[in-house]
Structure 1
Amino acid sequence: MVADLSVDPPHTLSPRGRTVVLLTCCLSVVVAGLDTTIANVALPSIQKALHAPVSGLQWVVDAYTLVIACLLMFSGSLADRFGRRRVFQIGLGFFSLGSLLCGVAPSLGALVAFRALQAVGGSMLNPVAMSIIATTFTDPKERARAVGAWGAVAGLGGASGPVLGGLLVSGLGWRSIFWVDVPIGVLAVCLAQRFVPESRAARGKRFDPLGQLLVVTFLGPVTAAVIEGPRHGWSSPFIIGLLVLAAVSLVALVVTESRRAQPLVDVRLFRSPAFSGAAVIALAAFMTLGGFLFLNTLYLQDVRGYSALHAGLLTIPMAAALAACAMVSGRIVAVRGPRPALVLAGLLLAAGAGLLLGAGRETGAWYLVLAYLLFGAGFGLVGTPTTNTALSGMPRDQAGVAGAIASTCRQTGAAIGVAVCGSIVAAGSAGFVASSRIALAVLAGCGIATVLLGLISTGRWARAQAERSGRQLGTHAVEATP
């Protein structure tokens, strides 16, 4: 999330102090990024230990990503109003407590509930950490380097999740993947108290409780319906009721937020084809990642019989390609604009998922590694051009809101990817391999959609419309300022 730059005058810190602030923010993003991916490699062990069905495994992953998606924008506004350091520390506290409780969860239901508690804290980490960095590093060049380092650590945290998870699960059991967060979280709380200066927005954004409620009653029922559909039946009153609730909430969200002076979700941003395209690309790309990681860990451990450690190590090429291409992506965007990076990203995502369509019980490791390399490269390329496109033409004071919505789309996409792929596998009667091929075809389709949307949202017409929407938003902001 891009920080709100309308803040109190920054505190003067020494270079060492600013470095410690950056380190503290990086610690928070490490644990938040790890928990987005580390749980996937432990799913087979959790399934055996807690006798969980496939839908239960989906909830273990989605309870985390879905709650974060619902609360990201609210947490950012909370920090702007009551103090960024304070909310940051509260978030670290909730996250650490949730992690500790996950590690001792006696049942599947308890684990899902504690994952949700983790996510409440997690929603206060990334957006607030970015705001802290923006207010601490006032020099544009220093800020750019700090944001770059923070982003690199964020990518490394998520990419290393499967490998670290494999090591922990194989050596200490699945509960250890949650315990590892606790000492890091406690250390970050102490460092924040000692070194991070307090700051808040000059004019805190008004709370929008109705908007927040409608976001929850839209995203929650959609995800629940997709996960529980195979078990209850798609025509059951329960599933139909969830979908109706989601539809009504979406309509109400659009109507009510378009009338508020300071909405939680500024629907006017979607008038820009570039922003709308970037939001859907973020949704599709993270849907591909969430579904891919969910299917792959079950395939490697349940179908191929690999240990959690072996499965984690086998995905190192994907993590390496992701990290390398994330760095290359910024250079491509700087020189050629976002279109080439988005098109190449979508093609590589489709190719990686498409190759796994041909994977079976005896597929060679080289074939899997090739698929992982292509997929990791595609996902590494997609982040920078998506952010660039989302902010195209946006006035400066709307950058934070636009970034928050884009981040929400990413988390929502990851949750839906797990829900859709898990439901396809759960509904299949021909075994995991055959059912997963249908899910992988859906993910490959998301890669192709990324290509098409990348072409549309970065074209001449889309850029012109984005500039026009940006001018209108800027005019509205001036008129609304008291």
Structure 2
Amino acid sequence: MAAVGGSGRRTIVLAVCCSALFMVGLDNTIVNVGLPEIGSSLHTSVAGLQWTIAGYTIVLASLLMFSGAAADRIGRRTIFQVGLSLFTLGSWLCSLAPSLAWLIAFRVLQGIGGSMLNPAALGIITNVFSAPKDRAKAIGVWDGVSGLSMALGPVAGGILVGSVGWRGIFWANIPVGLAAIALTALLVPDSKADRGREADPVGQFFVIVMLASLAYAIIQGPSDGWTSPYIVGFFLLSLLALAFLLRYEPRRAEPLIDFRFFKSVPFSAANATAVCAIATSAGFLFLTTLYLQDVRGFSPLRAGLTLLPMPVMMAISSPISGRILARGGPRVPFVIAGAALTLSTAALSQLSPTSGPLFLIVTYGLFGLGAGMVNVPISNGVMSGVPRSQAGVASGMNSSSRQLGQSLGVAIVGSVLAASLRGSMHAGFLTAAHAGWWIMAGCGYAVLVLGVVSTTGWARATADRTTATFSADPAPAVAAVIQG
């Protein structure tokens, strides 16, 4: 470090790591803006649009913990470079996709690369910024980039789709990825854990089977029939994979998923809250994009600008949530988040073809308030619900929960829309989407209830008992944290 100028080089390393987070975060919102044009260009159904999102998020959710362990064992810079290369290559191939099937395949490749970026990047930051104060500042910048990518996604997507078409949304990642690859090779130091976690390929395989078969059954259910042997078979396959994991993982010394964590109510509730909250956000973006462009006829840029109250309020409310939590605990932020998500999505069930700007600003802003308030108490619940020595593993599991919520939100809300849609999207969307908004309102209410339950004295006692079951200083694992 010192040979190149320690402070300046550390800043560049932080910028490179944040660029990876920016690409992954941007991808979660920018692609949604392009969905209507993707559907029109590739002549795909609602299910095809769902797979465009789910093909990426399912792989990301499945591989996060595996990638984090691989970074610790093989080397964080090595895994980071591989992730950057795969994500950049996948983005370029997505922009060239001749059909929906190829687009989904290339999105899977993006997801494989994306799963490697954040665990490795956070490990690099932790290693480079060794002083606690410097590390805290670096992590603060890291978290801020997540909010920035969320805010810029709808606008950047609108500009690119409106000017060069939907393929342009994938071009945005290429120059950033190439620059990050070059700077990583030149300036980022390599590091690995003194003792990396053992690989768990069997557990990893069944995690992928469980999530992929569940998503397939939910997405294809409306077209194939919910009671068809094919769909029922995929639901059963998902359950069998879960049953195998519940039996197999506790027998391993270093399992991919340590189910003992779930005896802690704050930890379990935080992960369930993450699934509910992120599923609501994913469903909101999916339905809102279709409403603004297919029903209202807005251009992609105008749709992106109309969405801005949501990410702006997220950026404002997230630090406020942290301050409230620091002064009085996580219950108030959880309640505010749950109430805001519930009220906004319930109100959006009343959308009409002529809903005015004030209605959209208020409901989108209220939704952003809830989405911003919930992230900090989720992270607090995960970290306070398990021993500090297990923070890395717990954080990786929470990151997977967030990505699982992303996958399920699009899968469930999209399937409800597809099952109820009659006629064209323009004519039938509002009626077909009604149930989807109320499902999201139910998820918002679940956030509120879980927030209250997980902050009781009984819940804290379960966390204390869980902590006592672990040894004082087990082998550390990488913290694979993805916000939002």
TM-score using structure 2 length: 0.95
Alignment partner for residue 216 of structure 1, among 200, 208, 221? 208
1: CA distance, partners of 2:363 / 2:249: 42
2: CA distance, partners of 1:377 / 1:263: 37
Q: Secondary structure at the match of 2:440?
A: helix
Q: Which amino acid aligns with 2:242?
A: L
Counterpart of 1:49 in structure 2 is 41
Distance apart, 1:46 and its partner CA:
0.4
1: CA distance, partners of 2:452 / 2:354: 38
Alignment partner for residue 457 of structure 2, among 457, 460, 463? 460
* Deviations 1:168-208 (CA, angstroms, capped at 9, x unpaired): 10011110000110110010111111111100010011000
Counterpart of 2:271 in structure 1 is 279
2: CA distance, partners of 1:474 / 1:13: 41
2: CA distance, partners of 1:379 / 1:362: 26
Map 1:352-391 onto structure 2 (within 5 A): 352-391=344-383
Instruction: State whether residues 11 and 136 of structure 1, in contact with CA within 8 Å, keep that contact through their aligned partners in structure 2.
Output: no
2: CA distance, partners of 1:23 / 1:117: 24
Counterpart of 1:426 in structure 2 is 418
Aligned length: 470
Counterpart of 1:319 in structure 2 is 311
Which range is displaced more, 387-396 or 80-89? Answer: 387-396
Alignment partner for residue 165 of structure 2, among 166, 173, 190? 173
Q: Secondary structure at the match of 2:116?
A: coil
Q: Which amino acid aligns with 1:264?
A: L
Distance apart, 1:229 and its partner CA:
0.2
Is 1:336 matched with 2:333? Answer: no
Q: Secondary structure at the match of 2:206?
A: helix
Counterpart of 2:7 in structure 1 is 15
Is 1:268 matched with 2:260? Answer: yes
Q: Which amino acid aligns with 2:373?
A: L
Which range is displaced more, 464-473 or 97-106? Answer: 464-473
Q: CA RMSD in A?
A: 1.5
2: CA distance, partners of 1:83 / 1:121: 15
Distance apart, 1:434 and its partner CA:
0.9
Instruction: State whether residues 264 and 386 of structure 2, in contact with CA within 8 Å, keep that contact through their aligned partners in structure 1.
Output: no
1: CA distance, partners of 2:470 / 2:56: 33
1: CA distance, partners of 2:450 / 2:245: 25
Q: Secondary structure at the match of 1:265?
A: coil
Change (3 A) 1:311 1:261: same
* Deviations 1:442-476 (CA, angstroms, capped at 9, x unpaired): 00110000000001111111011101211212359
* Deviations 1:328-384 (CA, angstroms, capped at 9, x unpaired): 111111111111111111111111111111111011011011100000011011111
Counterpart of 1:4 in structure 2 is none
Distance apart, 1:259 and its partner CA:
0.8
Q: Which amino acid aligns with 2:120?
A: V
Map 1:246-261 onto structure 2 (within 5 A): 246-261=238-253
Q: Which amino acid aligns with 2:419?
A: A
Instruction: State whether residues 92 and 174 of structure 2, in contact with CA within 8 Å, keep that contact through their aligned partners in structure 1.
Output: yes
Instruction: State whether residues 389 and 472 of structure 2, in contact with CA within 8 Å, keep that contact through their aligned partners in structure 1.
Output: no
Which range is displaced more, 277-286 or 394-403? Answer: 394-403
Distance apart, 1:134 and its partner CA:
0.8
Counterpart of 1:5 in structure 2 is none
Q: Secondary structure at the match of 2:470?
A: helix
Q: Secondary structure at the match of 1:258?
A: helix
Q: Which amino acid aligns with 2:151?
A: A
Is 1:105 matched with 2:102? Answer: no
Distance apart, 1:477 and its partner CA:
3.7
Counterpart of 1:3 in structure 2 is none
Which range is displaced more, 46-55 or 465-474? Answer: 465-474
Is 1:38 matched with 2:30? Answer: yes
Q: Secondary structure at the match of 1:394?
A: coil
2: CA distance, partners of 1:196 / 1:457: 40
1: CA distance, partners of 2:232 / 2:89: 36
Counterpart of 1:401 in structure 2 is 393
Instruction: State whether residues 11 and 197 of structure 1, in contact with CA within 8 Å, keep that contact through their aligned partners in structure 2.
Output: no
Q: Secondary structure at the match of 2:44?
A: coil
1: CA distance, partners of 2:345 / 2:149: 22
Distance apart, 1:11 and its partner CA:
11
1: CA distance, partners of 2:249 / 2:420: 40
1: CA distance, partners of 2:271 / 2:186: 37
* Deviations 1:230-278 (CA, angstroms, capped at 9, x unpaired): 0000111110110010000001101111110000111111110110000
Is 1:446 matched with 2:443? Answer: yes
Instruction: State whether residues 36 and 64 of structure 1, in contact with CA within 8 Å, keep that contact through their aligned partners in structure 2.
Output: no
2: CA distance, partners of 1:120 / 1:477: 28
Counterpart of 2:482 in structure 1 is none
Instruction: State whether residues 10 and 135 of structure 1, in contact with CA within 8 Å, keep that contact through their aligned partners in structure 2.
Output: no
Counterpart of 1:154 in structure 2 is 146
2: CA distance, partners of 1:58 / 1:288: 15
Counterpart of 2:233 in structure 1 is 241
* Deviations 1:133-192 (CA, angstroms, capped at 9, x unpaired): 111111111111100110110121123211110011001111000011011001011111
2: CA distance, partners of 1:363 / 1:38: 24
Alignment partner for residue 294 of structure 1, among 276, 282, 286? 286
Counterpart of 1:472 in structure 2 is 469
Q: Which amino acid aligns with 2:450?
A: L
Q: Which amino acid aligns with 1:40?
A: N
Distance apart, 1:13 and its partner CA:
6.8
Instruction: State whether residues 155 and 323 of structure 1, in contact with CA within 8 Å, keep that contact through their aligned partners in structure 2.
Output: yes
Distance apart, 1:12 and its partner CA:
10
* Deviations 1:378-434 (CA, angstroms, capped at 9, x unpaired): 101111100101111422221011001100000000110000111111000452101
Instruction: State whether residues 211 and 238 of structure 2, in contact with CA within 8 Å, keep that contact through their aligned partners in structure 1.
Output: yes
Q: Which amino acid aligns with 2:454?
A: S
Counterpart of 1:349 in structure 2 is 341
Change (3 A) 1:11 1:88: farther
Instruction: State whether residues 129 and 135 of structure 2, in contact with CA within 8 Å, keep that contact through their aligned partners in structure 1.
Output: yes
* Deviations 1:103-161 (CA, angstroms, capped at 9, x unpaired): 01000000000001011000011121111111111111111110011011012112321
Instruction: State whether residues 343 and 455 of structure 1, in contact with CA within 8 Å, keep that contact through their aligned partners in structure 2.
Output: yes
Q: Which 5+ residue runs of structure 2 have no aligned equivalent?
A: 423-427, 476-484
